[in-house]
Amino acid sequence: MLVLAGTPIGDMADAPPRLAAELAGADLVAAEDTRRLRRLTQALEVRPAGRVVSYFEGNEAARTPDLVAALEGGARVLLVTDAGMPSVSDPGYRLVAAAVERNIRVTAVPGPSAVLTALALSGLPVDRFCFEGFLPRKGGERRARLAEAAAERRTLVYFEAPHRLAACLAAMAETFGAERRAAVCRELTKTYEEVRRGTLGELAAWAEGGARGEITIVVEGAGAAPAGAGADPDELVRRVRVREEAGERRKEAIAAVAAEAGLPKREVFDAVVAAKNAARSAPQRPKGLS
């Protein structure tokens, strides 16, 4: 049996009661970081009886066949990551998929989740949401991914590294609109836990001062925007331009912006055409003058 075990995202007292028993009884423990596992077992006052191996991004593909072989041999394998549930932006998916393919039973010890904790604390709608994980590191790829989500009506949840937070929020403000509401949740359940709420424009300005710790960002969905928020022609043109710069064709960009703003495509198209005509008719500055 493969057991996926949730681990604390900060406060060790949040460890699920079954976790200690699973650590003590597993034949094999696969841990994202064996040093963190050692700190966890010390906090829980438990000693793993089985063998402990590392299972992280760098060796996940190579080690999965060995773990599957152990499972097929009858071993009870426990998978733990540094924080939260395995497979959720952490190692685990390959092993789960391989186990399911071989009809090996997979179960879980539910535990803390940064996604759900941040969502609950954000103050934003929680009835429907989608988890987007980490955005690409490169600016162009990040803008393209954000453009895909700009019309999403569900609340959006992202993970981000602290040194990329300012650039991420600036890109979100540019793509989603600076007035879109959001929350930055930092160091959840830890001593210096902080939840900063505001518009994307406000949060982007705040993040320029730097931030530390584990970051989860929650962003209001497009459908939750105030009525008429997307009807300003200049704003519609800006959103179309952002999508085009991210690689979308103009037709698709106009359709997506119209859906996001709850407007007919013709209205967005007319705004784009009007802006183009205005740019053409604007007086041209003579060459050589500054």
pLDDT tens digit sequence for 32-51: 999 999 999 999 999 999 99
Looking at residue 224, its pLDDT comes to 46
225 in Cβ contact with 217 (< 8 Å):
no
**Dihedral over alpha carbons 112, 117, 119, 123 (to 10 degrees):** 160
239 in Cβ contact with 184 (< 8 Å):
no
Q: How far apart are CA 285 and CA 216, in angstroms?
A: 47
Residues in the chain: 290
Q: In 10 A of CB 268, how many CB atoms?
A: 26
Q: 171 is written with which tokens?
A: 């890109």
Looking at residue 263, its pLDDT comes to 77
Q: 189 is written with which tokens?
A: 């359940």
Looking at residue 279, its pLDDT comes to 80
**Collapsing DSSP states into helix, strand and coil, what is residue 13?**
helix
* Separation in Å, CA 109 to CA 8, 86, 90, 120: 12, 10, 16, 21
Which pLDDT tens digits describe the chain residue by residue (290 residues)? 999 999 999 999 999 989 999 999 999 999 999 999 999 999 999 999 999 999 999 999 999 999 999 999 999 999 999 999 999 888 999 999 999 999 999 999 999 999 999 999 999 999 999 999 999 999 889 999 999 998 899 999 999 999 999 999 999 999 999 999 999 999 999 999 999 999 999 999 999 999 999 999 999 998 644 444 446 888 888 888 888 888 888 988 888 888 777 778 888 998 899 888 888 776 665 555 44
Angle at alpha carbon of residue 242, lines to 252 and 125, rounded to 5°: 85
104 in Cβ contact with 1 (< 8 Å):
yes
Looking at residue 65, its pLDDT comes to 97
Q: Where are the alpha helices (DSSP H) in the chain?
A: 17-25, 34-44, 60-72, 93-101, 114-122, 139-149, 165-176, 200-207, 233-245, 250-261, 265-281
Looking at residue 236, its pLDDT comes to 87
